[in-house]
Amino acid sequence: MNLIDLIDYLGTFAFAISGIRLSAAKRFDWFGAYVVGLVTAIGGGTTRDVLLGVSPFWMHQPSYLIVTGVALVAVILFKRHLVKLENSFFIFDTIGLGLFVVVGIEKTLDAHFPYWVAIMMGMITGSIGSVIRDMLINETPLIFRKDIYALACVAGGVVFMICSELGIPKGMTQLVSAISVIVIRILAVKFHIGVPVLKVDDEKK
Amino acid sequence: MNLIDLIDYLGTFAFAISGIRLSAAKRFDWFGAYVVGLVTAIGGGTTRDVLLGVSPFWMHQPSYLIVTGVALVAVILFKRHLVKLENSFFIFDTIGLGLFVVVGIEKTLDAHFPYWVAIMMGMITGSIGSVIRDMLINETPLIFRKDIYALACVAGGVVFMICSELGIPKGMTQLVSAISVIVIRILAVKFHIGVPVLKVDDEKK
Amino acid sequence: MNLIDLIDYLGTFAFAISGIRLSAAKRFDWFGAYVVGLVTAIGGGTTRDVLLGVSPFWMHQPSYLIVTGVALVAVILFKRHLVKLENSFFIFDTIGLGLFVVVGIEKTLDAHFPYWVAIMMGMITGSIGSVIRDMLINETPLIFRKDIYALACVAGGVVFMICSELGIPKGMTQLVSAISVIVIRILAVKFHIGVPVLKVDDEKK
């Protein structure tokens, strides 16, 4: 197992944990929690692959199903201690996000789409899983209301495009792009940087 | 019309009825109820076909649209008598579920995916329609909270795999797999067998 | 820019405005509002293209993303004056709907599907965007409860089929079909014509 695989597993694990914990708050059963965890972890990449017209990535190796299963067992066994691990989950989640965005961009460019589509797909890969998660638990999507999350994915995509256009080698471009996503996300959470809320006061007139 | 077609129609009818009745509780109009009924009936198979990269099954013959129309008319005309037919609907629904699971597995194996993908697709074929239904009527998905439903699909898939590996003839494998789904579902409902609810008491500490 | 492009842009703009304004009522941030606006505008055509197995239309030219961006800026800058423009939005929305339905029908016939599939796809192109919008803002879909909207799309599709079968030239068929959608929609809103609400009084017995 190389470093990329390890990051992929940790990111999947953190995404699945977020889905499973939110399911628990809705009193879903183990099966429902597993499904929501799985959708959180693979929903973004699946949407990307369907839009690109390629076979969804998780149908070619069972590791995502297995990692989600491990996440479910972890939540069931260690539920009392999960709160203490918040920071670890946040780090896994954020590093995973950086990786997922770069993977989404790469796959889209390989399919011969232009950069702006690749940037969209990087964002879709990183964030649509949590949108579907919130639809399943019947809440309005968190990323539409709080913090910078999807915009960090977009910024990472723009960095990727600039580095590529400047002729920076591929491996370095990927690394810088992923780190951009991670740093922006961490700064946004640490300093509570958000996007302004849209206000339309139709009714108040 | 052969037996398989008849089961397909009855299953579609029962799935559509469940969507239409839940729509009525939300005061949807006839059109909305028809759409929700249709999505309940064809949503699982459509999701499967999109993931497999093949053209959705209902786009090749109009019978699913027609059966859903019949279900809508039936609900409008006989609404007072529907409660008495609960058991019939349950039987149609369950037998249809067994068929849908087997169809989902077959289609996935025909597309040269391994057994574990086929088991997933059998479950998706049988249960995603009701998940989309519940998202449309703005409720958390029932199958994540109550009874064994999707797990019966998974069990039927495992039975299919075991029978195939043992060299049991295809027709028999299909029949045993479908019957497994049906029996598990009936036993789960009769004896109120469910999956444990996931509890995470983050907030209580 | 020809007339068709202009109608396409105005329709996209009106669809996006509806998504953005409903997002504002939920206190989404600018990013969330942009996404909901975009999904309202492109969700129907994307669903159609995924079902037809072709690459989604918006991945081949960035105009839909740009028009949605303009809509967001317009809502932010002119929010106090939007109410006065209700009628203009309604006209843009309705003319756009007529165009979107015809585009959906054409694309489906080009993919060699029969008329009944094309009629379904015309309806999906025109109305699924608003269904996904309502799922994202956590409301039951408006088109399932109010006015004639999707049925106007179906009627336009039937008109298209009849005109084609009568040998009417393609351009005229498209025009008559689009005008049918527009007229039915306007009449339905003006005279409050709706589909009957489905009532099932299971619980009252």
Gap between the Cα atoms of A45 and C33, Å rounded = 22
* Cut 0.90: pTM above it: yes
Q: Which helix (H) or strand (E) holds C13?
A: helix C3-25
* pLDDT mean over B139-145: 89
User: A92 pLDDT exceeds 50?
Assistant: yes
Q: Provide DSSP, chain A.
A: --HHHHHHHHHHHHHHHHHHHHHHHTT-BHHHHHHHHHHHHHHHHHHHHHHHTS--GGGG-THHHHHHHHHHHHHHHHGGGTGGGHHHHHHHHHHHHHHHHHHHHHHHHHTT--HHHHHHHHHHHHHHHHHHHHHHTTS--GGGTSSSSHHHHHHHHHHHHHHHHTT--HHHHHHHHHHHHHHHHHHHHHTT--PPBP---STT-
Gap between the Cα atoms of B153 and C33, Å rounded = 38
User: B120 pLDDT exceeds 90?
Assistant: yes
pLDDT tens for A143-153 read: 888 778 899 99
Chain centre distance of CA C77: 25
- SS3 per residue for C44-70: HHHHHHHHHCCCCHHHHCCHHHHHHHH
B135 interface with A at CB cutoff 8 Å: yes
Q: What is the pLDDT of residue B111?
A: 94
Neighbours of chain C (3+ CB pairs under 8 A): A, B
Per the model's pLDDT, the better-predicted residue between B82 and C172 turns out to be C172
Residue B142 lies in a domain: yes
- C204 pLDDT band, cuts 50/70/90, is very low
* Complex ipTM value: 0.90
pLDDT tens for C68-124 read: 999 999 999 988 777 778 788 888 889 999 999 999 999 999 999 999 999 999 999
Two tokens at B81? 């008598």
Q: Which helix (H) or strand (E) holds C90?
A: helix C86-110
Residue B67 is part of which domain span? 3-190
The number of distinct structural domains making up chain B is 1
- A117 pLDDT band, cuts 50/70/90, is very high
* pLDDT mean over A51-65: 95
A30 interface with B at CB cutoff 8 Å: yes
Give first-to-last CA distance, chain C, whole Å.
Answer: 62
User: C203 pLDDT exceeds 60?
Assistant: no
User: C205 pLDDT exceeds 70?
Assistant: no
User: C155 pLDDT exceeds 70?
Assistant: yes
From B139's Cα to the closest Cα of chain C, the distance in A is 9
Q: What is the pLDDT of residue B81?
A: 79
Cβ distance of B80 and C201 shorter than 8 Å = yes
Percent of chain A with pLDDT over 90: 71
Gap between the Cα atoms of B12 and B31, Å rounded = 18
Residue C195 lies in a domain: no
Q: Output the average pLDDT for chain B.
A: 91
Residue B83 lies in a domain: yes
Q: Provide DSSP, chain B.
A: --HHHHHHHHHHHHHHHHHHHHHHHTT-BHHHHHHHHHHHHHHHHHHHHHHHTS--GGGG-THHHHHHHHHHHHHHHHGGGTGGGHHHHHHHHHHHHHHHHHHHHHHHHHTT--HHHHHHHHHHHHHHHHHHHHHHTTS--GGGTSSSSHHHHHHHHHHHHHHHHTT--HHHHHHHHHHHHHHHHHHHHHTT--PPBP---STT-
- A7 pLDDT band, cuts 50/70/90, is confident
Phi and psi torsions of B160, nearest 5°: -60, -45
Q: If we measure between CA atoms, which residue out of C127, C99, C130, C46 comes closest to residue A120?
A: C46
Phi and psi torsions of B29, nearest 5°: -85, 175
Residue C26 lies in a domain: yes
Please name the member of B25, B29, B62 whose beta carbon is closest to the beta carbon of C145: B29
Cβ distance of A24 and B199 shorter than 8 Å = yes
Please name the member of B21, B27, B135 whose beta carbon is closest to the beta carbon of C197: B27
pLDDT tens for A136-182 read: 999 999 888 877 889 999 999 999 999 999 999 999 999 999 999 99
Q: Which residues of C touch B81 (CB under 8 A)?
A: none
Q: What is the pLDDT of residue C194?
A: 85
**Coil/strand/helix, residue C190:** helix
Two tokens at A136? 């399943």
Phi and psi torsions of A29, nearest 5°: -85, 175
**Coil/strand/helix, residue C2:** coil
* pLDDT mean over C159-180: 95
Which 8-state DSSP code applies to residue C204? Answer: T
C150 interface with B at CB cutoff 8 Å: yes
Residue A202 lies in a domain: no
From C138's Cα to the closest Cα of chain A, the distance in A is 6
Residue A196 lies in a domain: no
Please name the member of B62, B76, B79 whose beta carbon is closest to the beta carbon of C116: B62
CA A126-B128-A122 angle, 5° bins: 15
Residue C177 lies in a domain: yes
Helix axes A30-52, A3-25, angle to 10 degrees: 130
Residue B200 lies in a domain: no
Please name the member of A120, A197, A202 whose beta carbon is closest to the beta carbon of C83: A202
User: A82 pLDDT exceeds 80?
Assistant: no
- A204 pLDDT band, cuts 50/70/90, is very low
Amino acid identity, position A140: T
Cβ distance of A79 and B199 shorter than 8 Å = yes
C117 interface with B at CB cutoff 8 Å: yes
Lowest mean pLDDT segment, chosen from B51-60, C35-44, C91-100:
C91-100
Q: Which residues of C touch B80 (CB under 8 A)?
A: 201, 205
Q: Output the average pLDDT for chain C.
A: 91
User: A41 pLDDT exceeds 70?
Assistant: yes
User: B201 pLDDT exceeds 70?
Assistant: no
Cβ distance of C137 and A139 shorter than 8 Å = no
Q: Which residues of B touch C197 (CB under 8 A)?
A: 27-30
Per the model's pLDDT, the better-predicted residue between B180 and A198 turns out to be B180
Chain centre distance of CA A105: 13
